Structure 1
Amino acid sequence: MTDSSGEQPAHDAPSDPPLTRRSHVRAARSEFENQVAHARAEFEEANERIKERTGRDLIVATLLGLALGAVLIVSLIFLKWLFLVFALAATVLGTFEFSRALISAGRKVDVVPQLVVGSALVLSGYFVELWLHWVAVFVAVAVVVVWRLIGQMFAKDGRTYGAVLGDVLIGGLIQLYVPFLASLCVILLRQDGGEWWVLAFIVIVVAADTGAYAAGLTFGKHPMAPRISPKKTWEGFAGAALAALTAGVLLALFMLELPWWTGLVLGAVILGTATAGDLGESMIKRDLGIKDMSSWLPGHGGVLDRLDSILPSAMAALALYYLFHPLAA
């Protein structure tokens, strides 16, 4: 049929049949899925190489670290008492790990007294005066030492004098290494603005650890202490130093309200204590013949493996608080 002008009516250009459009969609989706699968395979391959080199699962370690970091930040900023619970739980688990590792190495350690006395020591750091806390430290060490001596008197297992003396000294070391250093972190927490200082020194420790991991993995060639920790390198230490100093300056300026140069001091001191704590625990584990204190934290090892840098750094952070806090704006 024609219109009045005698021309045929115009028609729209023919569109693709529905089947053709569905084919295009399926092809695009298939291409996208292939790209995702390829990227995932490459990521898993890289993760396996990192795991083979460092002994850690990067994905699991990162996710767990982010979760713990979120709990830590929330507890420090909003609820101080929640951080006290967090610190107490970490102390108990770390003390238990250390005690069990020593027992496996043939030492006599009284686990329950260690846990009870250690918990009381941490709590005293938050609830009692500073002078009384120092009394609690001496009492805690005395209790575990006397308990071990009395236990040995009734054991009658023929243990030599040297072995008994070693057990006594190690019992006191457990209290000084884990609960006492953790209590210093709690003492810092209770100070005016102490929650920000706790957060600051922990952030510097994490920054140093991350910088060492990234730089060591990328550039690491020269072992730092091959007999103690073969995987630690001077390149990694350089990365840790850069990250710690940068974090220290930024935290001093924007969180602690201190002069920038105090951030350099804070970063350098925390870097030193964190590195010493890491190497110190590595020496202990090498002496005990173990890789990790436990496997409770996937991708990280044990609780004490995460506290090794934090515990000695708490002592340094408390000293720096007394030194620099009067300079705060």
Structure 2
Amino acid sequence: MSDASPGSAPDEPAEGEGRGSGTDAAQSSIQSQMRAARTEFESQVAHARAEFEEANERIKQRTGRDLILAVLIGLAIGAVVFVSLVFFTWPFVIFGSAAALLGVFEFTRALQGAGRRVDVVPQLIAALAVLLPAFFLDLWLHWVALFVAIAFVVVWRLISQMVARDGRRYDDVIDDVLAGGFVVVYVPFLASLALVLLRQDHGAWWVMAFLIIAIASDTGAYATGLMFGRHPMAPRISPKKTWEGFAGAAVAAVIAGILLAWLMLELPWWAGIVLGVVILGTATAGDLGESMVKRDLGIKDMSSWLPGHGGVLDRLDSILPSAVAALALYYLLTPLVVAS
């Protein structure tokens, strides 16, 4: 029985009971708000992801490229090239030579798929014979290696055809020989000129500069062409390239050329304009040239080794002829640094 007398006041709540109830209510309110905020955040992320995937799908349908994979792979390759040029040179020699060999392999297989008889093994041997002297031997030996490599490929093909005795027509044999010689000149020789540039004084900065300008040109063309492209530039060669994209490439290349000439190469600003315009021209010509080759072979990409990009040679198309221009500009413009 209770000790309280009748009519006495009711029992008071225990000390802290009311305060604890209020604290529990406040905590419950905070937790509810946090759950609501998290739910809203997840909803916003899901919505943004859906919009991005939809936009990426539209881009993929228009260009045939997966934008996400293309960006990720491009950044990874760019990081490897940047580190190899800034800190060491021999990793770039290995990386560049490997890329050129893969390009030779892709091109050779594409030609074989189109009915041309081009031999993979001698092409790879010839590529190494051209690439290695470019960095390790004198320049005149590099030229000797080029002619020896072409002769090696030609003789191998002619002997292979004599052994085959399959009645292949004379015109087809000549086309096979010319195709094999073209592979040697187009891929390993042009790539080797980047290695010739690399061995010059401050050559690593020049290699990095022309690569950045070529990539800036490609990126500017892609972005502006995607957003504003209306007028085809060369519809019979590459229907998706537009004059609007070329304008974007020109702006990007010139801006990159000026900044790199000033900050990296210690050249006058106007030399940066020359550098940007020349690399713009060679990058565009290389891109259109490879598109013409692929159209002639009846293929869209040289391979599918780089998702979002196509093949290795599809990434080297604008870089290979730009190496020629960069080496020539090095010899023409470096006296300006000495004079200043």
TM-score range, shorter chain: over 0.9
Q: Is 1:194–2:203 an aligned residue pair?
A: yes
Check conservation: 1:84, 1:186, Cα contact below 8 A: yes
Q: C-alpha deviations, 1:133-188, integer Å up to 9, x for none?
A: 11111111111001111111101111000000000011100000001001101000
1:322 paired residue number: 331
Q: C-alpha deviations, 1:209-247, integer Å up to 9, x for none?
A: 110011101110000000000000000000000000000
2:7 paired residue number: none
2:115 paired residue number: 106
1:128 paired residue number: 137
Q: C-alpha deviations, 1:271-316, integer Å up to 9, x for none?
A: 0000000000000000000000000001000000000000000000
Check conservation: 2:232, 2:242, Cα contact below 8 A: yes
2:215 paired residue number: 206
Cα deviation for residue 17 of structure 1 reads 4.3
Check conservation: 1:197, 1:317, Cα contact below 8 A: yes
How far apart, in 1, do the equivalents of 2:30 and 2:99 lie?
59
Count of residues in Structure 1 that have an aligned counterpart in Structure 2: 320
Q: Which runs of 4+ in 1 moved over 6 A?
A: none
From 280, 283, 287, the counterpart of 1:278: 287
1:151-230 residue pairs with structure 2 within 5 A? 151-230=160-239
Identity, % of aligned pairs?
A: 71
How far apart, in 2, do the equivalents of 1:212 and 1:179 lie?
26
How far apart, in 1, do the equivalents of 2:276 and 2:226 lie?
22
2:9 paired residue number: none
Check conservation: 2:153, 2:181, Cα contact below 8 A: yes
Point out where structure 1 has 5 or more consecutive residues left out of the alignment. Answer: 1-10
How far apart, in 2, do the equivalents of 1:219 and 1:213 lie?
10
From 126, 144, 159, the counterpart of 1:150: 159
Cα deviation for residue 87 of structure 1 reads 0.8
3-state SS of paired residue (2:216): helix
The residue identity in structure 2 corresponding to 1:156 is: R
Check conservation: 1:91, 1:119, Cα contact below 8 A: no
How far apart, in 2, do the equivalents of 1:316 and 1:21 lie?
65
Q: Is 1:39–2:53 an aligned residue pair?
A: no
Cα deviation for residue 14 of structure 1 reads 4.0
With structure 2 as the length reference, what TM-score do the two structures score? 0.92
How far apart, in 1, do the equivalents of 2:33 and 2:306 lie?
47
From 137, 147, 151, the counterpart of 1:138: 147
Cα deviation for residue 21 of structure 1 reads 2.7
Check conservation: 2:129, 2:146, Cα contact below 8 A: no
How far apart, in 1, do the equivalents of 2:179 and 2:27 lie?
78
How far apart, in 2, do the equivalents of 1:91 and 1:17 lie?
67
Check conservation: 1:252, 1:258, Cα contact below 8 A: yes
With structure 1 as the length reference, what TM-score do the two structures score? 0.95
The residue identity in structure 2 corresponding to 1:112 is: V
The residue identity in structure 2 corresponding to 1:216 is: G
The residue identity in structure 1 corresponding to 2:267 is: L
Q: Is 1:255–2:264 an aligned residue pair?
A: yes
CA RMSD of aligned residues (A): 1.4
3-state SS of paired residue (1:23): helix
3-state SS of paired residue (1:299): coil
How far apart, in 2, do the equivalents of 1:151 and 1:32 lie?
67
3-state SS of paired residue (2:240): strand
How far apart, in 2, do the equivalents of 1:197 and 1:30 lie?
51
How far apart, in 1, do the equivalents of 2:43 and 2:65 lie?
28
2:85 paired residue number: 76
Cα deviation for residue 93 of structure 1 reads 0.2
Check conservation: 1:60, 1:298, Cα contact below 8 A: yes
Q: C-alpha deviations, 1:176-201, integer Å up to 9, x for none?
A: 00010011010000000000000000
Point out where structure 2 has 5 or more consecutive residues left out of the alignment. Answer: 1-17
1:92 paired residue number: 101
How far apart, in 2, do the equivalents of 1:126 and 1:154 lie?
36
The residue identity in structure 2 corresponding to 1:30 is: T
Q: Which protein is bigger by CA-based radius of gyration? A: 2
How far apart, in 1, do the equivalents of 2:213 and 2:26 lie?
62
3-state SS of paired residue (1:131): helix
Check conservation: 2:262, 2:272, Cα contact below 8 A: yes
